[in-house]
Structure 1
């Protein structure tokens, strides 16, 4: 299956600025992207990256700095199934992606924890995307209005997209690849107090 991986590499992960400087955020975002590409490939997908700047990864890269919805929309519209997988799914595994790819439906979606759409499989040319706001709601409505089946895949590993400092906890707890290694090498650790576990950074 053809898999499009959008990547914002020009100024990524600004909400992690309390932990990392701009160069570090770019390195961390690239580590997550590489993890996602490996998981897609191991799940039998054929990944390509659409990025707002050049990025050195082991996959074809197209540079396109338009908004996300416009970029993805240009990848749809044919009878060929297309998957769209976000580049910051640091917990994605081949098993989770295989389940997504193999689930039947005109549109198959993996919702994000905050109301986003972290991954999609589109099998019908009448579907369009809208990634603004609570996009999972928009995508349900778009599919319904087009008379298309819309199936949601409940997957923790595809639900966690890394945007906020609290998301780093999930990577440290459940990650096994480059992104987790990058965090530990940068001095990010878990701190267990009397409430929720938090991520803290001890600069070296």
Structure 2
């Protein structure tokens, strides 16, 4: 299954600017991207990075500097729409979109998403704040709108086009890393490069005051 992995090279993870410098944010974002690519490949997926600018990875890269919604919809048009791979009249092959900041993603979690996508027209893993962290779609009319609580919007879009919808409840796919508090989840549950990057940068967990906090040594 082709898996589109959106990745921003322009001021990545700006909400972490209080704890990471611009260069550090780039390095940490790249570590998360590599973790996601590793998980996708191990789950049997065929990842393609959808980047806002050129990025040096050992996987195919499509550069599209448009906003996320427009860039992902263009990719879906090419694979599901009448002008793309579905234009031969056959049922389109499922395509997945997995965000590049899912630092907790594992092959098992991605496999669950893929399996759900085999039994539904749209299978989706919501984020903790109501966003859309990952999905598989095969319905030729399904398109995205990433503004606001996009998971609810996407569920409604699926209903409007008559697409069978499945929710994938996954802590690992539901945890995207945007805020400084999210770093604790990576240090606690992370198994890959992003967790190692944080530890090498001096981040650690401190529970001395009765609650878990992230500190930098």
Q: TM-score normalized by structure 2?
A: 0.91
- Match for 1:149 among 159, 164, 177? 164
Number of the residue aligned with 2:177: 162
4+ residue runs over 4 A deviation: none
Deviation at 1:120, TM superposition (A): 0.6
5 Å-filtered alignment, 1:131-142, equals 131-142=146-157
Answering whether residue 85 of structure 2 is matched by residue 87 of structure 1, we say: no
Greater shift, 70-79 or 114-123, is seen at 70-79
Number of the residue aligned with 1:16: 16
- Match for 2:136 among 116, 121, 146? 121
Aligned pairs, number: 202
Consecutive unaligned residues in structure 2, runs of 5 or more: 81-91
Deviation at 1:194, TM superposition (A): 3.8
5 Å-filtered alignment, 1:1-204, equals 1-77=1-77, 78=80, 79-103=92-116, 104-202=119-217
Q: Residues of 2 paired with 1:132 and 1:144: CA distance? A: 18
Consecutive unaligned residues in structure 1, runs of 5 or more: none
Deviation at 1:163, TM superposition (A): 0.4
Q: Residues of 2 paired with 1:172 and 1:131: CA distance? A: 28
Q: Note the alpha carbon deviations across 1:5-58, whole angstroms, 9 max, x for none.
A: 000111101111111100110010000000100100000000000111221112
Q: Residues of 2 paired with 1:59 and 1:7: CA distance? A: 13
